[in-house]
Structure 1
């Protein structure tokens, strides 16, 4: 690990997006670069959140996945959200509302439980404070832009669900029968798995890498069995930029102890063709699960014209 404070602060900010003061406080108290989740349950909650952010927040936010920065706290993870995205209709859609729609649990009597089972709202003054009933002490705090009306967002979401015949669950004091049934039916599916939560939690705690070291206009993340997949879409020439990203992600001080298992790269051919697709599979030896990083390059019309590809 770098020993000088200035370098550690810079790296901490590169990985997390934190302010200078938050980074200074972190490096003064940390014994390693980025602290891991303090319990397996905390790691699962963070992995569940990453999967939901990856499903919902992948398109056209200011930052990939709609997260501008994170801050590691002893009591849980603090996450700062982007302001909004602009829909095709021209409507501004707040990131805070989009995330609430995706992560807070509700029961559809005609179907199943949606959102993250067991997730509860612990407070909404100044931020949205969340805790999990499925893990003692597992908690996160979501910060929107200044003035985000969390109370109204929650009311609007609840009213919309009730009108559609669904039942909001995020204020229930205990796990509901529908959630218990859901967890019994899907005990180790996707991001719920403790044995592969290390990557979802680890990447969320290093979320700013997706902004500082990948030139992508969108990102998506999902889980299939024991494999995490993260896909980045870019309209710029890749020029092997993913190698720098994977180097940072697997850095021995601030990254995860990942090793490249398989690599397929078509960046060089993208100089002659309007699209490129690269994939890098990474693993941590002796741990369950793998990471499938996908880098999709779709040349813009201007880029294609500049490279003489527009009419090919």
Structure 2
């Protein structure tokens, strides 16, 4: 058990971001004792991060970590995403690098729709792949993807795009917004096609989830992580995260600890719980899923639903067919220490009591 406040705060940061202990300790030691551990993104940065997650929320590569993200390093105007080692070579259609290029590099598809991150331009450097939206503050740096692999994937995707009638925005407009990207530029009051995070009030939640992606590993062994958005009742967007996992601790601890840290004042989001539909005590044939619903505690647009989808017994066999893959996934589970789990349970109980009173 970590005994000092510095150690406990470091533990929270490590679980939430995936940072190595030494890095997390150095980061926390540099903060004021009452400072939040994960800063909220600048509005323009939040939009960039939300576009990133929305584009890559359903990866085809089937990575081990949630969305392939092993570690995050967040700051107000910057986010570093450390990706897991590739399971397949970059020229494989289902490799992580191909998946990233296909999802986030802005292009106009065969139906005239802009896909990827509008306005984003990519710089390949020794430190990683730098993503910036033209003439806007903020950046995302992708670490863990070799520059040569990124180049290979870009060339292969270009061939695929040309064959399908798609166009990359940066080909004709490397230093300015492509005509098809202009409606997505901020600030703008023009209506946008589809559910896009144009307003900063829509972007806080997607950004916050991306900055806490490694926290999902505290729920159980990661088997699959996907997300999508639906229109919410307040005319914002509801983020739905489906974390398919193998539980490693008795119910209801898998989701209690996660919810506690996700709503923790030091490392969590500014959200308040709406409902928790818990089916942990039911027989597997009736339900294999619990759901947590939340909304902004500050009146911002948007809502959140996290689905804790359990796989045990016969339902787990599909994920155990590749024994090496399954063994690698089991190593990624991060248990929440008892003293933090107790605090999480007490926080949830207090929220329930205040809601009933």
Q: Structure 1-normalised TM-score?
A: 0.83
1:277 equivalent in alignment to 2:289: yes
CA distance 1:303–1:84, shift in 2 (3 Å): closer
Deviation >6 Å, runs of 4+? none
For residue 150 of structure 1, report the CA deviation from its aligned partner.
Answer: 2.2
For residue 209 of structure 1, report the CA deviation from its aligned partner.
Answer: 0.5
Preserved CA contact (<8 Å) 1:191 1:223: no
1:233 equivalent in alignment to 2:234: no
Distance 2:288 2:110 in 1: 44
What residue number does 2:355 align with? none
Preserved CA contact (<8 Å) 2:78 2:138: yes
Aligned residues: 296
Secondary structure, aligned partner of 1:175: coil
For residue 68 of structure 1, report the CA deviation from its aligned partner.
Answer: 0.7
Preserved CA contact (<8 Å) 1:49 1:103: yes
Secondary structure, aligned partner of 2:37: coil
Correspondent of 2:52 among 44, 49, 57: 49
Distance 1:142 1:166 in 2: 24
Secondary structure, aligned partner of 2:121: strand
CA distance 1:29–1:165, shift in 2 (3 Å): same
What residue number does 1:294 align with? 307
For residue 153 of structure 1, report the CA deviation from its aligned partner.
Answer: 2.3
Distance 2:228 2:4 in 1: 36
CA distance 1:153–1:65, shift in 2 (3 Å): same
Q: Which moved more, 1:63-72 or 1:44-53?
A: 44-53
1:71 equivalent in alignment to 2:77: no
Root-mean-square deviation (CA, aligned residues, Å) is 2.9
Secondary structure, aligned partner of 2:182: helix
Deviations 1:11-54 (A, max 9, x none): 211111112343233213333211111x2010111112122232
For residue 297 of structure 1, report the CA deviation from its aligned partner.
Answer: 2.3
For residue 86 of structure 1, report the CA deviation from its aligned partner.
Answer: 6.6
Distance 1:98 1:55 in 2: 10
Preserved CA contact (<8 Å) 2:79 2:139: yes
Distance 2:151 2:127 in 1: 10
What residue number does 1:199 align with? 205
What residue number does 2:264 align with? 251
1:177 equivalent in alignment to 2:189: no
Preserved CA contact (<8 Å) 1:128 1:141: yes
**Structure 2: any 5+ residue segments left out of the alignment?**
232-236, 318-357
CA distance 1:54–1:4, shift in 2 (3 Å): same
What residue number does 2:24 align with? 23
Q: Structure 2-normalised TM-score?
A: 0.74
Distance 1:6 1:235 in 2: 29
For residue 244 of structure 1, report the CA deviation from its aligned partner.
Answer: 1.7
Distance 1:167 1:151 in 2: 17
Preserved CA contact (<8 Å) 2:62 2:224: yes
**Structure 1: any 5+ residue segments left out of the alignment?**
305-312
